[in-house]
């Protein structure tokens, strides 16, 4: 497509991109037939602004009127719906702007629009352990936990074990066989695993993400350095139904390919 071919499309996009009022008016029109005065009340735009938007919309074939009543044409419905989709995508990308390039590969399957409200916690000079503090808070207060894990820092394992011992936390998880092998030579590190070993599945291969489901909330660790392995240098949280569904499916996929952990292999402390 040449630049000249793109000009009409870019001009159409600019109708919305250059004016939040245009977006608001078309969103209001998407709810059904209405008047210009009602549109002004709903959007907070002046009547003259609404009149200008309606006039331009009619000239483009996106709006039609009968007397004082206005409604979107099918073309108008398509234009505002597609622009809203694009806007939500940009909002999602901006929400993740500092970390989007470090999302683990499986998370890139997600529609970025579903991460518009994601909570991001990353380390800083003032709070170098901010992400760990937030994660521990979630683990300490959670009632259900499912984990898909490459590696498990000892402080997190002990926090989870404490919740299970107190009868507060219902836990199960899938972890890489390579990490379990490391535990077999370390009675001290293995000690808290005895608490929930019968609820652990071992995956003989590489798990591509550290991802946990806590009380219906997805907790995704990512590596800000951009490496292939997730080392837990930041945290993303989301309760969006589509993100939760994705996480549940990913967890079940790896669990179905894993074997129950033989807890008798763990060394005694």
pLDDT digits (tens, 9 = 90+) for 236-269: 999 999 999 999 999 999 999 999 998 888 887 6
Residue 261: predicted pLDDT:
93
Residue 269: predicted pLDDT:
63
Residue 1: predicted pLDDT:
46
3-class state of residue 180 by DSSP? helix
Q: Are 199 and 164 part of one and the same domain?
A: yes
Residue 129: predicted pLDDT:
83
Strands 217-221 and 235-238, bridge-based pairing: antiparallel
Domain hosting 154: range is 98-265
Alpha helices in the chain (DSSP H): 3-17, 20-29, 36-43, 47-59, 74-95, 130-141, 154-165, 177-183, 187-190, 241-256
Q: Looking at residue 259, which CATH number applies to its domain? A: 3.30.870.10
Residue 183: predicted pLDDT:
85
**How many domains is the chain partitioned into structurally?**
2
CB neighbourhood size of 107 (10 A): 24
Q: Looking at residue 42, which CATH number applies to its domain? A: 1.10.10.10
Q: Are 110 and 210 part of one and the same domain?
A: yes
Residue 182: predicted pLDDT:
85
Q: Are 40 and 144 part of one and the same domain?
A: no
Q: Which residue has the tokens 């602004």?
A: 49
Instruction: Choose the final residue of a domain: 32, 59, 91.
Output: 91
Residue 45: predicted pLDDT:
94
Q: Are 110 and 72 part of one and the same domain?
A: no
Instruction: Choose the final residue of a domain: 49, 70, 91.
Output: 91
CB distance 138 to 219 below 8 Å: yes
CB distance 191 to 168 below 8 Å: no
Give the DSSP H/E element, type plus range, for residue 218: strand 217-221
Q: Are 61 and 120 part of one and the same domain?
A: no
CB distance 169 to 227 below 8 Å: no
Which stretches of the chain score pLDDT less than 50? 1, 3, 224-232
Residue 189: predicted pLDDT:
87
Residue 223: predicted pLDDT:
66
pTM: 0.80
Instruction: Choose the final residue of a domain: 91, 113, 133.
Output: 91
Q: Distance between CA atoms of 190 and 31, rounded to whole angstroms? A: 59
């Amino acid at each position: 497509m040449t630049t000249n071919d793109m000009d009409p499309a870019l001009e159409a996009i600019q109708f919305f991109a250059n004016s939040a009022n245009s977006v608001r008016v078309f969103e209001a029109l998407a709810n059904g037939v209405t008047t210009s005065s009602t549109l002004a009340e709903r959007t907070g735009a002046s009547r003259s602004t609404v009149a200008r938007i309606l006039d331009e919309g009619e000239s483009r074939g996106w709006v039609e009127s009968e007397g004082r009543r206005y409604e979107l044409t099918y073309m108008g419905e398509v234009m505002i719906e597609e622009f809203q989709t694009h806007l939500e995508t940009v909002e999602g990308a901006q929400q993740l702007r500092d970390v989007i390039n470090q999302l683990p590969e499986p998370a890139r399957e997600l529609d970025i629009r579903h991460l518009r409200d994601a909570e991001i916690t990353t380390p800083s000079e003032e709070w170098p352990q901010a992400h760990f503090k937030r994660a521990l808070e979630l683990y300490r207060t959670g009632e259900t936990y499912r984990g898909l894990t490459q590696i498990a820092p000892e402080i997190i394992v002990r926090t989870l074990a404490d919740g299970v011992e107190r009868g507060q936390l219902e836990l199960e998880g899938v972890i890489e066989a390579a990490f379990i092998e490391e535990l077999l030579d370390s009675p001290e590190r293995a000690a808290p695993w005895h608490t929930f070993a019968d609820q652990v599945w071992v995956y003989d291969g590489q798990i591509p993400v550290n991802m946990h489901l806590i009380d219906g909330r997805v907790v995704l660790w990512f590596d800000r350095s951009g490496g292939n392995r997730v080392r837990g240098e930041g945290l993303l949280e989301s309760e969006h139904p589509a993100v939760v569904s994705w996480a549940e499916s990913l967890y079940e996929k790896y669990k179905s390919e894993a074997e129950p952990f033989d807890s008798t292999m763990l060394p005694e402390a």
